[in-house]
Structure 1
Amino acid sequence: MEKNDITYPRSWSYRVIGLNKDDMTRDIKIIMASRKYALEDANKKGKYISLHLELIVSSEDERNGTFAALKGCDSVTMVL
């Protein structure tokens, strides 16, 4: 299977899903540290909270590392 070429730096977004918005927001702030990012509510219905996180990533390693860090948070149920 051929791998798509992604040009970096580029804007990348994640959908972060969990149960408590305050906890998720706190954890995202810690992960992002001094990096610039935008965080918006993506879903206000139902049992789960969905947040849309957008930032500039400079490499595939950074993109994958951010995904892994988000997925590893206790406050986060799923990352898409």
Structure 2
Amino acid sequence: MEENATNNQIQYPCTWHYRIIGLDKQTLHLAALENINKEFIHTPGKESSGGKYHSINIAIEVENQEERDLIFQALQKDSRVKFVL
């Protein structure tokens, strides 16, 4: 059965979730504060088994795909953030 393409479209505005990974949670939170110019909710994420990497989860309302992509790119460019998911 073929899936209808409209079922896969994102309806904006919506809450979007990012997970950012780096060396410590405080630094990640600062990176998020400095790169996201609107309110967001952050929660602690997991840490790697060796304790080297940590993550925080970010939930934010985005108005459109352009805003969603700009936030992703800003977080990705920050040297304190190793990965953005």
Q: Indicate the TM-score class for this superposition, using the shorter chain for normalisation.
A: 0.7 to 0.9
Q: Which residue of 2 aligns with 1:31?
A: 35
Which of residues 2, 21, 25 is equivalent to 2:25? 21
Find the aligned partners of 1:22 and 1:75 in 2 and give their Cα distance.
Answer: 10
Find the aligned partners of 2:18 and 2:29 in 1 and give their Cα distance.
Answer: 13
Extract structure 1 runs of 4+ deviating beyond 4 A.
Answer: none
Give structure 2 stretches of 5+ with no counterpart.
none
Identity percentage of aligned residues: 31
Q: Which residue of 2 aligns with 1:41?
A: 44
Normalising by structure 2, we get a TM-score of 0.83
**Correspondence 1:9 to 2:20:** no
Letter in 1 for 2:34: I
Greater gyration radius: 2
Normalising by structure 1, we get a TM-score of 0.87
Deviations 1:15-50 (A, max 9, x none): 1000022221111101123x1100111114531011
**Correspondence 1:56 to 2:31:** no
Computed over aligned residues only, the root mean square deviation of the Cα atoms, in angstroms, reads: 1.5
Give structure 1 stretches of 5+ with no counterpart.
none
